[in-house]
Structure formats: structure tokens, C-alpha cells
Amino acid sequence: MATLLHLDSAVLPEGSTSRDVTAAFVEAWIEQHPDGTVVRRDLAAAPLPHLGAAAVIAGASDPLRRELADELAGADAVVIGAPMYNFTIASTLKAWLDQVIIVGHNTGPDSPVAGTPVTVVASRGGSYAPGTPREGFEFVQNYLKTLLTSMFSAEVDFIVPELTLARSKPEMAELVPLADASRAKAFDDARLKAKELAARLAA
């Protein structure tokens, strides 16, 4: 049976696009692979401690770091909700990354995570797509792609629902159709990706 690791980092428990899309991903995964296992961590509801000197020195012998590393290594696929806050990821997700990355234990081309498909739902209130005025402010996809591939040799894909603030900000009213289309595509992409991965791993 395949195991899916599901991480959410959105601060708000409700009304979060990234949470909604990761939930759709998980639902589709379960429909396709009902005998599989889903391990969930809500990094906002139960934040991890920031990495300290003692944990750095202990490495994989630190109980928490070892638990997180084993959890990640045991996953056949990973889905991460990574909304943009102040142009980058939530500090809770950064704390998880700092804890779970143990150089010399689970990094490099021989990492137990190598080849694991990681789907990141990178929601954002505006648009930071190539060609937009804020293209250079995009530090979610660029950072996570570099980190997850270079440290873990993971297989990383992104689902990017953008313009999520369009319906709540009058100055973005003209962008509502684009926002709605982006949201709908994100749900479609999440369900399709989840079904593809579940079928691939169940084969």
C-alpha cells in the first residue's frame, strides 16, 4: 500500500485556497487508492520548534528530527500546501524543512527521498508569473524547487492557484474571472495529479 504525506502550512484553518486544493488532492488520492495510507501534518495547528543548536548537533539521533525524517522517507508521495506570505513560504514550513533535512542522513543523490513525487500547492494572493510586474518577487517555487531537488533529489511539481485575493480586494475586481479560472484549474490539476500518482504507485 502506498503512503501519502500531506502537509499544510496555511495560517488560517478555513478559507485557505492551499488547504482546499490539498484536500481535493487527498480526496482524489483516496478514491483512486482506498487501501493507501495518508499521514497528515498541519504545521499551523501544531507548529514544530525552530531548529536549535542541540538538534543540529544531534542530527538523526534527535527524536523529533528522526521521526520527521522517517515519516518523509516512508512516504511514496508528498503533497504540500505552501501559500505565499511576504513573498516566501510560511515560517512553519521552513521549520519543518530545517528539522527534516539532515545532511549526511537523508540528503544527496542516495537520499531515501530520491525520486519521490512531491506536489506543492503554491497559492498566492496576486500573480508572480513570468512576465508579470512582480515576477522577481517569487521566492516560493524557486526556493522549494531548488531545495527539494538539490537536497533530496525529489521529483517536484507545482500547482499554482493565483490571484486568491481578487474577490476580497476592490482594486482587484477586474481580475476575478482570472482568479476563478486559476482556482478551477488548480482543483482540476490536483485531482488529476493525485489520481495519476495513486495509480502509478498502486501498479
Tens of pLDDT, residue by residue over 14-33, are 999 999 999 999 999 999 98
Q: Indicate the pLDDT class of residue 70, thresholds 50, 70 and 90.
A: very high
Mean pLDDT of the chain: 96
Cβ neighbours for 10, distance < 8 A, ≥ 6 positions apart: 16, 18, 19, 44, 81, 83, 90, 123
Tens of pLDDT, residue by residue over 119-171, are 999 999 999 999 999 999 999 999 999 999 999 999 999 999 999 999 999 99
Beta strands at 3-8 and 37-42: parallel, antiparallel or unpaired: parallel
Does the pLDDT at position 112 exceed 90? yes
Q: Indicate the pLDDT class of residue 202, thresholds 50, 70 and 90.
A: confident
Q: Indicate the pLDDT class of residue 201, thresholds 50, 70 and 90.
A: confident
Look up residue 151 and give its three cell numbers: 537536497
Percent of the chain at pLDDT exceeding 90: 93
CA distance linking residue 94 with residue 140, whole number of Å: 11
